[in-house]
């Protein structure tokens, strides 16, 4: 059965979300149309505002509406230590552990030659520039413990050796194959406490 063009467009638009197939998108569309039109309008407005106004922090590259995010503009954070993570969601996960008070750098991915993602795609030039222009003493590499995350961590440590900064890796209290945003705060706190130099 074919739906009207606007309903088909809504269902197709919902399919852009991860893990949402045709049936799930159809259920979501009908839920919004049948039971929560007011919520749908709020969602549409919030999506529009976020897409137009949210960009990247010029320092750490996380998401923000400002030039500099709240974490980077916080003078109480330790500017001598930098935590390198794959995604903005990882920043949130580390922050929720409550054990880290340094600064961040978000790669927005990991090295993956098979996907065509090289050093420039994950911001390595910006990371190197940031480290050379600041007073960073230690870089904590907190990429995910996946094959790509490990390769990225190794590449980062090799690139930073000539700069004379200490490079450490969070301990593997994080399960192998897992992703930081899904790890509980206690496990993440243990991983940070047991980090080792690369």
User: What confidence score (pLDDT) does residue 190 get?
Assistant: 67
User: What confidence score (pLDDT) does residue 1 get?
Assistant: 60
Domains 5-53 and 63-197 in one fold: no
Tell me the per-residue pLDDT of 78-106, one tens digit each, with 9 for 90 and over: 999 999 999 999 999 999 989 999 999 99
Other beta carbons within 10 angstroms of residue 176's beta carbon come to 11
Given a cut of 70, whether residue 24 has pLDDT beyond it is yes
Other beta carbons within 10 angstroms of residue 43's beta carbon come to 12
Under DSSP, is residue 65 helix (H, G, I), strand (E, B) or coil?
coil
Of the CATH numbers 3.40.50.10190, 3.40.1360.10, 3.20.20.105, 2.60.40.10, which one belongs to the domain with range 63-197? 3.40.1360.10
| pLDDT grade for 173, boundaries at 50, 70 and 90 | low
Domain boundaries, given as residue ranges, for the chain = 5-53, 63-197
Residues 154-160, mean pLDDT to the nearest whole number: 95
Residues 50-61, mean pLDDT to the nearest whole number: 95
Which residue has better confidence, 39 or 183? 39
**pTM for the structure as a whole:** 0.80
Average pLDDT, the chain: 91
Question: Rounded distance, CA 85 to CA 170, Å?
Answer: 11
Of the CATH numbers 3.40.50.2300, 1.10.10.60, 1.10.8.420, 1.10.540.10, which one belongs to the domain with range 5-53? 1.10.8.420
Given a cut of 90, whether residue 184 has pLDDT beyond it is no
Question: What is the DSSP-derived secondary structure letter of residue 17?
Answer: S
Question: Rounded distance, CA 184 to CA 193, Å?
Answer: 15
Residues 1-21, mean pLDDT to the nearest whole number: 89
Tell me the per-residue pLDDT of 116-125, one tens digit each, with 9 for 90 and over: 999 999 999 9
Distance of CA 3 to the CA centre of its chain: 37
């Amino acid at each position: 059965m074919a739906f009207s063009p606007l309903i088909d467009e809504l269902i197709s638009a919902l399919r852009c979300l991860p893990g949402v197939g045709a049936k799930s998108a159809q259920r979501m569309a009908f839920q919004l149309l049948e039971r929560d039109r007011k919520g749908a309008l709020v969602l549409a407005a919030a999506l529009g505002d976020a897409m137009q106004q949210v960009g990247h922090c010029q320092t750490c590259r996380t998401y923000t509406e400002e030039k500099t995010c709240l974490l980077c503009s916080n003078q109480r954070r330790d500017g001598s230590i930098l935590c390198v993570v794959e995604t903005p969601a990882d920043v949130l996960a580390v922050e929720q552990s409550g054990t880290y008070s340094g600064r961040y750098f978000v790669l927005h991915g990991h090295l993956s030659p098979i996907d065509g993602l090289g050093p420039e795609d994950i911001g390595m030039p910006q990371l190197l520039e940031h480290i050379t222009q600041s007073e960073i003493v230690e870089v904590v590499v907190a990429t995910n413990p996946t094959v790509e995350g490990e390769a990225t961590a190794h590449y980062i440590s090799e690139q930073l050796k000539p700069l004379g900064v200490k490079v450490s890796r969070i301990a593997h209290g994080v399960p192998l194959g897992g992703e930081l945003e899904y790890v509980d705060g206690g496990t993440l706190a243990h991983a940070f406490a047991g980090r080792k130099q690369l």
